[in-house]
Structure 1
Amino acid sequence: MSNVRLVNINKIYPNNVQAVFDFNLEINDKEFIAFVGPSGCGKTTTLRMIAGLEEITSGMLFIDGKLCNDVAPKNRHIAMVFQSYALYPHMNVFDNMAFGLKMRKVPVPKLDKNGNPIKAIDKKSIKKYQKQLKTFESQLEIAKESAPESIEEIQRNIDATNEKIKYYSENEVEVQKFVRRSKAEINDRVFKAAKILQLEKYLDRKPDALSGGQRQRVALGRAIVRNAKVFLMDEPLSNLDAKLRVQMRTEIIKLHQQMNAITIYVTHDQTEAMTMADRIVVMKDGYIQQIGAPKEIYDHPANKFVAGFIGSPVMNFFEGKIEDDKVTFNNVSINLNDNQKELVKEKNTEVYVGVRPEHIQIEPNENGKYTVNIVETLGSELLIHFNIDENTMVCAKVITDKVIKVGQKINVSFKTNSIHLFDKETEVSYF
């Protein structure tokens, strides 16, 4: 079983700009995790630290229980898919998928002239674990001052590393040499990946003869052939048109289910995160805002930022006030239910009121209080925009057979059980 654990991860660049702050996350075997947030939130930087393409300033990264801060990217058992396909234009699909396998050597036992494995003290491993031990010891000193909750775990790593140093110092192990994979193994891996991705009939084509979706599948195939424990995907669908994005979302989900590996998926598109992930990590300005299942984050956002970022169309926000078991805003008054009353006790009475468009009910009425400004037709749904007061435009999403036109008068009601309240100062959610 695979797992990835990030403990108190920080990233500070040489110019003292901090991109990631105290990132903590445990990813379980076969889990699909999405990092989502606006540009500059630190999601790609975090992914690159997991990949080994960015140095970790402080904190610990474990892959399958192994500390990987100083492990080379090629030895982390990961595969990465980028936004750009990064295909070799002069190679056909087969060679693009096989290239990494052809170039990378794999360890096999070194044999003596009688065909028996050669054994010796593994000085290289001893040196490697001695280096790891120094890293753990320095982390222990830091943890004593700033992260006491990590001391026990670091001490376990120190003890385990000392055991490894002792083992390799006292026991001879098989000497290994590095050789290239056989042509048969490479062919087998490429053909299996091509079958999964439905690329079998395109193996002889070069990238310029492929569609955008096919090129992205080749890039995915190049990752699949590595048989990695962890797949890292950095906005892989950004270059595709809307229809292809929907198609590729489905293909990536199916692929994840077939590979039985961890997938970490970075996107700024909350729709991708909501439809694909088992859990979502919402980030802003280098900080984790919330971690949870898509429905949990949608129904119970931790703060105003998460509420506004997750969901399309975006949540409507109003400045409001709690008084007499009611919340009032923009000449609207809503009675709080018993559970809501309990949750707002002794809280700041100045709030932001959040209402999702689908939780606003519209009723055409020639004597209605509000006037429709804009109507967007989305198949069976209508997005209706109207002014709740002189300066505040509201969006409602409704499914109706009734004809609603610009300029028409309407009455509006809000679903009491579905409103959200956020502290005016901290923007933290009350419910």
Structure 2
Amino acid sequence: MFDLRAIRENPEAFRKAWNRRKPGLGDAVDDIHRHDAALRTALTDKQEAEKLRNETSKLIGKAKASGDEAEFERLRKVVADAKETIEACAEQEEAARKELNELLYGLPNLPLDDVPEGEDEEANVEQHRWGDPKRLNGPKDHADLGEALGMMDFETAAKMSGARFVLLSGKLARMERALASFMLDLQTLEHGYTECSPPFLVKDQALVGTGQLPKFSEDLFKTTADHWLIPTAEVPLTNIVRETIIEASYLPRRFTAHTPCFRSEAGSAGRDTKGMIRLHQFNKVELVSVVANEEEGLAELERMTTCAEAVLKRLDLPFRRMLLCTGDMGAGARKTYDLEVWLPSQNTYREISSCSYCGDFQARRMDARYRPEAGAKPEFVHTLNGSGLAVGRTLVAVIENYQNEDGSITVPEALRPYMGGLEVIA
């Protein structure tokens, strides 16, 4: 959501920012003004009618007591007309508010000025690289390696659930669990995140708060019990502070959780149909931060991204950091870094983490505020979220980067304590 007063006072700033997202999107400013004007007119007319009704009602008793029947009837007519006006204005108010909210809830966040302008990933800007990509002799992809080991089964998963699911077993299943435990230990013990075990089912308002609803419902799975499966732990972790006023001493807050994530992958038909890159269900270790303002938020974005990078460094997986352009960012973000890990079979880097600063965009939708000091007026918090990391894609990267010519997989040193000292999966 957005500050209506700010849009009224500086409409061109919003028009320019939304046009950077998508040419022509800034025209929404005109629609906002139109619905806002209709809402304010309805409110003013209703208030004036209520005032007239209340003042006139006081005079009716005097007219009746004086025996002035004509004046009594005239005043009764004024009150009746005022009531009709109040009801009509209330309907106009509700309609205008609904249209305004539908428009505002469907608009993306405003990109920061240093975010490069562009339509898609081609305009993203590389920030830095780490590690030397491993040049292997005829590298196999993770699916072929996993199936040959008898520990990655897409066919059996499809019998149970359809396409875009996988059944891991044996040592690969243990490695997936080891990766999640390793990530959680790193983020909690060394980086100060508080581990949480949140619900995997949430109500509409939780998804509205983080920005997935109402616009992106087709990307989600809804249950018959009127709950939604979480697309990421960002949703429950960020909603920890919804509808609260917290003290400044509580900030910053940093949460992490390992959860399954469920996504319909709408619009991705034909993309990454083979293997574990794009599944309907996958595991992820999520990072969420709650801070006081933009200055702290931008510093936290650098910190969070570094925390995610630490996982890749400990696993010795080559990666690069990308600053996303305006057209490739998520709708709720003001600035986003993607981490892309090297996959030998594809001879390229693929996304494994996305860390975003959202400003007060989510906080306004959740009514999450903090009090800068005792007695001060509450202000909206600022939120961030990121992957630390996507567990399935990290498993993919480990399998491909640590593959051996005989089809076995060397276990990274950082994972061996979590796998009982196992050095090779064969």
TM-score class, shorter-chain normalisation, is under 0.3
Structure (1 or 2) with the greater strand fraction: 1
Structure (1 or 2) with the greater helix fraction: 2
Q: TM-score, normalised by structure 1?
A: 0.23
